[in-house]
Structure 1
Amino acid sequence: MNKLLLIPISLLIAACGHADSYSWSVSADTTRFDYAETDASGLIDTETNDFGDISGFTLAIEPTNIGLYLQTSYAKGTTDYIGGTNLSPTYGSHRTTTDNRIVDMSAGYKTTAFLDRTGSVKMPIKIGLGYREWVRDIRSTPGVSGYGEVYDWGYYDIGIGLHFALSPAVTLGADANYRKAFNAQMYENWHGYTFDLKDVHGYKITVPLEFALDRSWSTFMTYNYEYWNIGASNVINTYYEPDSETKNETLSIGLKYRY
């Protein structure tokens, strides 16, 4: 599915060579995870943690106003698993630790509307494609085997934002993106089944605060809230992936260079 991004990435590289104003940025990220699987009877299992347990980074290339963009992020860490087992399926009967790895990439086109004459209020608009992968390895405990899953999908991504210049050196923004997944699947290593996930969609809210250091360099802090709704899958030999929701929060601090 990563091949879906080859065309926009190639276009982005070509565009950057002719762009008047682009920026490169890198940030250190930490994510608070909140994942829950449910059925008609209630909770099946959950994955939670606190900031600092999952950490990673984000790299981005983005035009100041108009052009192609690319963003990729990687995160790794642990969550607290609460669930059940085949012999004792009641929620809360089994507890362990899960090792997680999350990769997210997106690329597309950005344009900007100026809402005042001075250019201090901007409305960025984005449309693009993305890819998300979550590797979930639930650790074994005495008497209970470990279990691994891989969730992945491509997604259509459309977003709009509002950014204000609070001063010549400080900018505050708010961005909202809607995401609709395609080719959404979950692979599990117990039976080796790959399930087709239904009606996967979500959104992302981003609040960036940026401080200019000079004409080229700035530092920034960002808060992200990411939501995914994952519908129950098809059934394979009486097994299926139930409904689930992901509600993750990420805090980032980074450095940006404009050229």
Structure 2
Amino acid sequence: MFDALDGALCVLAVVATMEALRASGGISAARRRVLWEIGAMGALVVLAHAAGGGTSAVLSMIVALGIAGGAAAVCARFGIDRAPRLSRLPGMIAAAALASTLFAKPDEPVAALIGASVAVAGAALLSRLRFAIKDASLASSLHFACAGACAVIGYAAGQEAGALAVVIVSAMGALIFSHLTMALAGPVWPGLVSTLDGFAACSVVAVGIVAGSGALLVTGIALAIGCAASHASAMQSRASYSK
């Protein structure tokens, strides 16, 4: 079940990142170069993880990269990234990815592929729906609920021992701060929110390496790129406003 969840989260992370990149298409050349550098670092991490592991690690990475590439192809082919739905949810995706690691289970590429297929179909359907949460009080309540869920995940991880639990707890702390910021200040501090979500994304990368899950590793890298794009866009908009 949780390997299928990892595959689905990988697809959602890729879609959210493509939406963020499209929304941030007007960023400066310098900040665009930073995004390329982050992507290159992610590629090196993927290669190092595959080279340092055995046959299972290589197979896991091939499946994860296939899921990410397939999701990107479907996203571009059907224009899923043209109507942003998930670009504001990287923190929730990261929280779900970290929560899945609390349930120890061997990596199952077939289950990940099944979960990814369901997620692609769901993302395609979501892109055709027209809805938005315009009520500020409802959006604030949802962020408070997400902060509570992150607190529960952090508490559960805190009952475990080891460095993995420390990484998850610290990531949940960042996500709680992120959701509380959104709940109390709305979209006033997008740079802070994207930074906190980016920290959680890097935590997903670390957990994916330790757990040996290619799907989690690719999910974290995709989320990190998307958060960096959102942060660059927010900082550029702030600079333009200051002028």
Q: Smaller-chain TM-score range? A: under 0.3
TM-score for the superposition, normalised by structure 2? 0.22
TM-score for the superposition, normalised by structure 1? 0.21
Q: Which structure carries more strand by proportion?
A: 1
Name the larger-Rg structure. Answer: 1
Q: Which structure carries more helix by proportion?
A: 2
Which structure is higher in RCO with an 8 Å CA cutoff and minimum separation 6?
A: 2
